[in-house]
């Protein structure tokens, strides 16, 4: 992998990640952009202890532009986009409309490919491996940014999820705090250790799912994918490396090599679960990584959660009264049935 860092016209950082070492990236962003000005603010909910990012400047962000005006496509033919070069493998840049900025954290955009009409599932294993290297490198870089406590790499896919740009891309958030969801996991981890005399919750969870097998979707030498016993979403898969590590930087070479094959297969199954002729499955893919300064960090397990809000053909799972009002999910699809369906749509070997 070759990494080339540059600056956009308004001062934001942009990083090219190339699979070939002989690629030269010297294109200059010639757009007449003013320096970025954001109004991001973190406020705390004193009742719940949650933090909320107030970011009014995001109201003006780009919304479903036509393909020939996509800001994530390469520049060319007199049109200047967020990427100055005429082609790229993987690009990461600071978000022009960040939810978090300055003392309130950092937001980055990850473009998986220059092909506007592709999806992550269309990538080759080499391309998917390069995205993994970019995620890992950004985790390492943001770990050194003062004030960043946790790094979250994720992809929102599909208009149903709320995606405003159709180009295949994801995001990376550098939070200045430990997120509420991670804090709950850490608390459960601590309680499990006390209850079992030092057992690790994540290790015991993965071992139990592998031993039972009913909810396992895919198991390899270095990765295990399963539908959780208490899945919140109709189709939800958790992917764990078999050797526990706190974040992406800890993955060994064998797990890195195998990841593209495993992850691409999961994404392709998600596109097949509702049958032929259905539109692409909307999903969220979210990497859970340990906070940097937490004393329980080494006991945390890196994992990816992949889920869709579609519950059946033509129908979405909406977060209504119980889910939105009380955070109590009601799932119409038994996890065992979801796992069985995801095994049925495996790629032909």
Active-site residue numbers? 169
Cα dihedral: 287, 288, 289, 290 (round 10)? 180
Asked if residues 169 and 112 have their Cβ atoms less than 8 Å apart, the reply is yes
Contacts by residues 64-67 (CB-CB < 8 Å, ≥ 24 positions apart): 64/159, 64/164, 64/165, 64/166, 65/165, 67/116, 67/117, 67/166
Sequence-distant (≥ 6) Cβ neighbours of residue 191 within 8 angstroms = none
For the record, the structure tokens of 216 come out as 């396992």
The neighbouring-strand residues paired with 240 are 224
CA–chain centroid gap for 4, Å, is 22
Asked if residues 348 and 272 have their Cβ atoms less than 8 Å apart, the reply is no
Rounded Cα–Cα distance for residues 197 and 204 (Å):
13
The residue behind tokens 């295949």 is 168
Give the Å distances, CA to CA, from 115 to 74, 143, 167, 291, 332.
9, 30, 8, 34, 36
CA–chain centroid gap for 256, Å, is 16
Side by side, the strands of the sheet bearing 106-111 are: 2-7, 13-18, 90-94, 106-111, 169-175, 150-157, 283-288, 303-308, 235-241, 223-226, 216-219
Helix (H) or strand (E) holding 263: helix 253-272
The residue behind tokens 């030269």 is 24
Cα dihedral: 184, 186, 191, 192 (round 10)? 110
Give the Å distances, CA to CA, from 315 to 20, 117, 146, 279, 326.
43, 24, 44, 12, 23
């Amino acid at each position: 992998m070759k990494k080339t860092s540059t600056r956009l016209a308004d001062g934001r950082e942009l990083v090219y990640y190339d699979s070939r070492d002989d690629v030269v990236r010297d294109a200059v962003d010639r757009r007449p952009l003013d320096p970025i000005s954001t109004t991001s603010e973190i406020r705390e909910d004193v009742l719940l202890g949650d933090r909320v990012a107030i970011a009014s400047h995001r109201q003006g962000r780009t919304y479903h532009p036509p393909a020939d005006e996509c800001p994530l496509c390469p520049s060319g033919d007199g049109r200047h986009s967020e990427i100055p070069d005429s082609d790229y493998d993987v690009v990461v840049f600071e978000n022009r409309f960040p939810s978090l900025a300055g003392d309130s954290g950092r937001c980055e955009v990850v473009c998986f490919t220059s092909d506007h009409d592709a999806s992550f599932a269309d990538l080759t294993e080499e391309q998917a491996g390069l995205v993994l290297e970019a995620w890992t490198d950004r985790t390492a870089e943001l770990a050194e940014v003062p004030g960043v406590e946790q790094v979250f790499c994720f992809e929102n896919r599909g208009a149903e999820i709320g995606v405003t740009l159709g180009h295949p891309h994801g995001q990376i958030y550098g939070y200045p705090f430990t997120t509420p969801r991670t804090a709950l996991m850490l608390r459960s981890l601590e309680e499990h250790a006390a209850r079992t005399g030092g057992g690790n919750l994540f290790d015991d969870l993965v071992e139990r799912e592998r031993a039972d097998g009913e909810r396992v979707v895919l198991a390899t030498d270095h990765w295990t994918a399963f539908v959780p016993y208490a899945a919140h979403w109709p189709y939800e898969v958790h992917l764990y490396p078999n050797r526990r590590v706190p974040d992406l930087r800890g993955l060994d070479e064998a797990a890195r090599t195998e990841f593209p094959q495993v992850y691409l297969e999961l994404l392709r199954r998600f596109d097949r679960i509702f049958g032929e002729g259905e539109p692409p499955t909307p999903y969220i893919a979210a990497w859970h990584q340990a906070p940097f300064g937490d004393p329980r960090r080494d006991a945390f397990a890196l994992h990816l959660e992949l889920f869709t809000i579609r519950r059946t053909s033509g129908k979405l799972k909406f977060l209504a009264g119980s889910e939105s009002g009380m955070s109590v999910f009601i799932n119409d699809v038994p996890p065992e049935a979801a796992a069985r369906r995801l095994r049925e749509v495996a790629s032909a070997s």
